Amino acid sequence: MKFLLPLFTFLSLSLVSFSQEKPYKIADNPYDNDLLSKEFHKGRRDEFRKLMPDKGVAVIFANPVRNRNNDVDFEYAQNPDFYYLTGLNEPNAVLVIFKEDTKIDTLDGNELIFVQNRNPLRESWTGRRFGKEGVKKQLGFKNVLLNTDFRKTGIDFKKYKEILHPFQYNDIRNDDEDSGDLYDLVKAFDQNTEKYSANKNFKSFDDIMAKLREVKLPEELTLMRKAISITCEAENELMKAAHPGMTEYQSEAVVEFFFKHRGAENEGYPSILGSKENSCVLHYTTNRKRFESGDLLLSDVGAEYHGYTADVTRTFPVNGKFTEQQKIIYNLVLEAQSAGIKACRKDSIFSVAHLAAVKLISQKLLQLGITKTEGSFRKYFMHGTSHYLGLDVHDVGNRGTLQPGQVITVEPGIYIPEGADCDPKWWNIGIRIEDDILITAGEPENLSACSPRTVEDIEALMLQKNVFKDLK
């Protein structure tokens, strides 16, 4: 990078800018007017507090900054639990929630947040920070301290019967120039709670977060509908654009163009675009093969909008016409998926869609002669049918009974790789159909029904023109 400052200048300016926080005027977000409100995040903290044990304290850290290579980091991705409870998308921060009101030093209340200081020099490179005043005004916190104060703030952990916290992975790097980075925050927490390790409990923390996050509030559903709508449009445009001679990476480019074009910040997970033999690899992300006439393309993609992700899979022939064998397996998977969706009713067990799909797939594979016993379906359908969806693509939840407000996927599949113990006419047919289902008080709602699922509708859509069809 040719714009690096001389080291002496950088260190000098850094020391000056770290010395004190400089106030600045904070405007409402000038780019997006549909972010979750500070009232939403405060409400989530209040609900978390209600579920905490008496004389409990919770300590939640922001995600680490992760290195890509050399001096280049990955784009920052916040810890979803931390974002859910705060709305803050910055690293090197820690949230402390108390069950009961408490007084610490000169502060009183039931929560504290520690954040990174303003630093004009660094902000000119990596973007504006909230700082203490920004977090107070924009995120509605009363007690805000700098992250460098976390070690010396007088939180007496021996007073608390339970210390709730998320499990900390070991991918935290130490920045020797920053005494308030995540490495130092976690180190301080571990040292201050070392004598009370028997009271530390990450399972209770996970259980509370799963209970809160598995049911989406209306504000969250609005963002999820947006992410899913964008994803459906991208899938539809890819169907129209696909043709023999195109590559998997070009199909990925089509999908992710529409994500960005419609306002999604990111993809919710690495896009899976697997053709022919690659359609039988569940989490295939190499995306380098060139399409040949007769290939199936399995497109498992999801746009992420304001933190919430979609997860939609469509499988279709790149030449626009299913073969007879492809059509048979496709309709089998579609029938299993429809049975699974229909079963997703309030108070049903979480695995109800999987049980419905397995029953149908195991019987039909046997009838087709692809398997020799009902139990051997697992060779060709080896994954579960549902997971929660939200801030994570595999979102947290307790997998109890289905309740209104939960969003789950229903995604059966059949994958018959070359060399499988069946007639070769079935080889290299990998099909998954996945939709995002909202549990309601009545019929389940398919949020991704805006992308076609039947053979006839897919083939009809693929006849339509698309700007990418003739792109060389």
Is 297 found in the same domain as 354? yes
The verdict on residue 359 lying in a domain is yes
Which of 2, 15, 27 is CA-nearest to residue 121?
Answer: 15
Q: Is residue 354 annotated as a catalytic residue, yes or no?
A: no
The verdict on residue 431 lying in a domain is yes
Q: Which of 252, 267, 300, 436 is catalytic?
A: 300
Query: Which CATH number covers residue 128?
Result: 3.40.350.10
Number of structural domains found in the chain? 2
Q: Is residue 283 annotated as a catalytic residue, yes or no?
A: yes
Is 204 found in the same domain as 99? yes
pLDDT at 463: 97
Is 399 found in the same domain as 365? yes
Residue 60: helix, strand or coil by DSSP? strand
Return the bridge partners of 316, or none.
297
Q: Is residue 300 annotated as a catalytic residue, yes or no?
A: yes
Which of 175, 163, 432 is CA-nearest to residue 282?
Answer: 432
The average pLDDT across 277-306 equals: 98
Phi–psi pair at 37, nearest 5 degrees: -85, 160
Residue holding tokens 């070690």?
A: 151
Q: Which of 173, 261, 288, 394 is catalytic?
A: 394
Domain that holds residue 406: 215-461
Q: Which of 160, 380, 388, 415 is catalytic?
A: 415
pLDDT band at 175 (very low <50, low <70, confident <90, very high): confident
Measured CA to CA, the distance from residue 88 to residue 66 in angstroms comes to: 17
pLDDT-wise least confident of 76-85, 146-155, 214-223, 400-409: 146-155
Q: Which of 434, 435, 436, 453 is catalytic?
A: 434
The verdict on residue 36 lying in a domain is yes
Do 52 and 161 meet the contact criterion of CB atoms below 8 Å apart?
Answer: no
pTM: predicted TM-score of the whole model, two decimal places: 0.93
Q: Dihedral of the CA atoms 345, 349, 350, 352 (nearest 10)?
A: -70
Q: Which of 28, 54, 71, 470 is catalytic?
A: 71
At which of 196, 212, 228 does a domain end? Answer: 212
At which of 212, 244, 259 does a domain end? Answer: 212
pLDDT > 80? residue 471: no
pLDDT > 50? residue 26: no
Q: Is residue 165 annotated as a catalytic residue, yes or no?
A: no
Q: Which of 151, 290, 383, 399 is catalytic?
A: 383
The average pLDDT across 303-309 equals: 98
At which of 212, 242, 257 does a domain end? Answer: 212
pLDDT > 90? residue 129: yes
Is 161 found in the same domain as 284? no
Is 143 found in the same domain as 262? no
Q: Is residue 75 annotated as a catalytic residue, yes or no?
A: no
Q: Is residue 432 annotated as a catalytic residue, yes or no?
A: yes
What share of the chain in percent tops pLDDT 90? 86
| Neighbour-count burial for 170-204, b at 16+ CB within 10 Å, e otherwise | eebeeeeebebbbbbbbebbeebbeeeeebbbeeb
Return the bridge partners of 200, or none.
163
Phi–psi pair at 85, nearest 5 degrees: -90, -15
Is 251 found in the same domain as 145? no
pLDDT band at 472 (very low <50, low <70, confident <90, very high): low
